[in-house]
Amino acid sequence: MNQNPITRVRVAIVGGGPAGIGAAVGLAKRRIGPILLLDRWDKPGGVPAKYPAKAGSMPTYVAATQGKVLFGQQFVDGLLKKLPPAGLQWSLETLVIHLDTHRRQLTVVNPRQGKHLIQADAIVLATGAREQTGPEQGWIAGSRNMPALQTMQLLELLNQGAKLPWENGIVAGSDLIAFAAAAKLKGAGTHAVGMVDTAARPQTSWLARRYFRHWVWPRWHQCSTAQYKTASGEKARLELQGGTHIPCDALVVCGRLVPNAELLVAAGIATRPPSHVPVTRSRGRLSSTGFFAAGNLLGGFHGGQWCYFNGLRVAKRVASYLQASVQS
């Protein structure tokens, strides 16, 4: 017999970033509730909330509908103002550890309630995406005696006020995330910033590169493989295919996002390997009845505003499903 307490809501949304907020706003506009919005972090907003406005830093979140480029936290604050004053509850610092697709039930843990269950008529998964690690990307090899970070780890260092001691930082990747990381490296005191990628040219637009040029213009290197090279008494470096050596005392591995789909895979919800992008029937509806996906969980790399509007669209699909369930 299950002794865990159960919270019952109309809709549970897993992920409190732009897509999850968009889904909540869309549902609230249709007077659907109660809504429970869960997130593992201690404040709402997802990844954008990790980019506060700071002197010497740069805004990177495009709010096209406002004609502005904002810091991530400013962008999130604007979204949070759209949420309803009633009918929505947040559950922060909450980790979902299991999905029950038959009961439409979440098993969660948090510091306040411990382990408990959440049952909903519909569940929206807006868990976002993560960057592939260096080994997952498969083109950077070798042993190293230098820091190797991913973008979120770099942000954590900078948000703690760290002054980076590195002379030669290298960013692996060349999408928008990589250029933002390169700018942050430069702004935090790194003397020289380089960029390596397997692509023939940077994987972000010319306009975006011109925007970041105000802070950084990284040295570009294209290669199919790269290998750490270290020797006693020598500085660390990257050796590119063809023999080119680049001084490197810190490496930031960026981009190449894959969906945070571990919960879906474990629950038996259909995904497409190897990246496990969810299989959707239409407009975010998943293979298990009553489950929906929104935002970067759907695959690819999309900005915060796209994710917010996608959440709004998925909310419309959820509302149609709930209405059909009542009629049947």
Which domain CATH number covers 214? 3.50.50.60
- The per-residue pLDDT for range 96-154, each reduced to its tens digit, is 999 999 999 999 999 999 999 999 999 999 999 999 888 888 888 876 666 788 998 88
Same domain? 269 vs 122? yes
Same domain? 13 vs 32? yes
β-sheet with 148-150: strand ranges across = 148-150, 250-253, 168-172, 192-197, 219-222
**pLDDT reading at 256 higher than 50:** yes
Is 63 among the domain residues? yes
| Mean pLDDT along residues 184-211 | 92
CA 175 to chain centroid: 14
Q: Are strands 277-278 and 271-272 parallel, antiparallel or unpaired?
A: antiparallel
**From CA 138, how far away is CA 141, in angstroms rounded?**
7
Mean pLDDT of the chain: 90
Is 95 among the domain residues? yes
Collapsing DSSP states into helix, strand and coil, what is residue 109? strand
Q: Which tokens go with 268?
A: 């038996």
The pTM score is: 0.91
Quickly tell me which residue has 């830093």 as its tokens: 57
- The per-residue pLDDT for range 140-188, each reduced to its tens digit, is 887 666 678 899 888 888 888 777 888 999 999 999 999 999 998 998 8
**From CA 11, how far away is CA 34, in angstroms rounded?**
7
Same domain? 119 vs 159? no
- The per-residue pLDDT for range 36-90, each reduced to its tens digit, is 999 999 999 999 998 888 777 788 888 888 888 999 999 999 999 999 888 899 9
**From CA 8, how far away is CA 120, in angstroms rounded?**
6
Best CA proximity match to 295, nearest among 310, 317, 279:
310
Say if residues 126 and 15 touch (Cβ distance below 8 Å).
yes
Say if residues 17 and 25 touch (Cβ distance below 8 Å).
no
Collapsing DSSP states into helix, strand and coil, what is residue 51? coil
**pLDDT reading at 3 higher than 80:** no
Quickly tell me which residue has 């307490």 as its tokens: 5
Same domain? 214 vs 322? no
**pLDDT reading at 2 higher than 80:** no
Is 1 among the domain residues? no
Q: Which of 189, 219, 253 delimits the end of a domain?
A: 253
Same domain? 228 vs 303? no
Same domain? 126 vs 263? yes
Same domain? 215 vs 311? no
- What ranges in the chain are assigned the alpha helix state H? 18-29, 72-80, 134-137, 151-159, 176-187, 206-212, 262-267, 304-327
End-to-end CA gap in the chain: 31
Collapsing DSSP states into helix, strand and coil, what is residue 274? coil
Same domain? 264 vs 239? no
Q: Are strands 129-131 and 140-141 parallel, antiparallel or unpaired?
A: unpaired
Is 111 among the domain residues? yes
Same domain? 139 vs 244? yes
- The per-residue pLDDT for range 290-304, each reduced to its tens digit, is 999 999 999 988 999
**pLDDT reading at 25 higher than 90:** yes
Collapsing DSSP states into helix, strand and coil, what is residue 153? helix
Q: Which of 230, 253, 276 delimits the end of a domain?
A: 253
Confidence of residue 231 (pLDDT cuts 50, 70, 90): low
Instruction: Output Rg (C-alpha) for the chain, integer angstroms.
Output: 21
Same domain? 118 vs 218? no
Q: Which of 253, 287, 311 delimits the end of a domain?
A: 253
Q: CA angle 140-137-41, nearest 5°? A: 115
Best CA proximity match to 227, nearest among 176, 282, 174, 170:
170
Same domain? 103 vs 142? no
Say if residues 209 and 230 touch (Cβ distance below 8 Å).
no
DSSP 206-255: HHHHHHHTTT--PEEEE-S-EEEE--TTS--EEEETTS-EEE-SEEEE--
Is 53 among the domain residues? yes
Same domain? 249 vs 159? yes
- The per-residue pLDDT for range 245-254, each reduced to its tens digit, is 898 888 999 9
Is 31 among the domain residues? yes
**pLDDT reading at 243 higher than 90:** no
Number of domains in the chain: 2
Q: Which structural domain, as residue segments, surrounds residue 187? A: 133-253
Looking at residue 1, what is its pLDDT?
44
Would you give the DSSP letter of residue 133?
A: P
**pLDDT reading at 270 higher than 70:** yes
The angle, 0 to 180 degrees and rounded to 10, between the axes of the packed helices 72-80 and 304-327 is 30
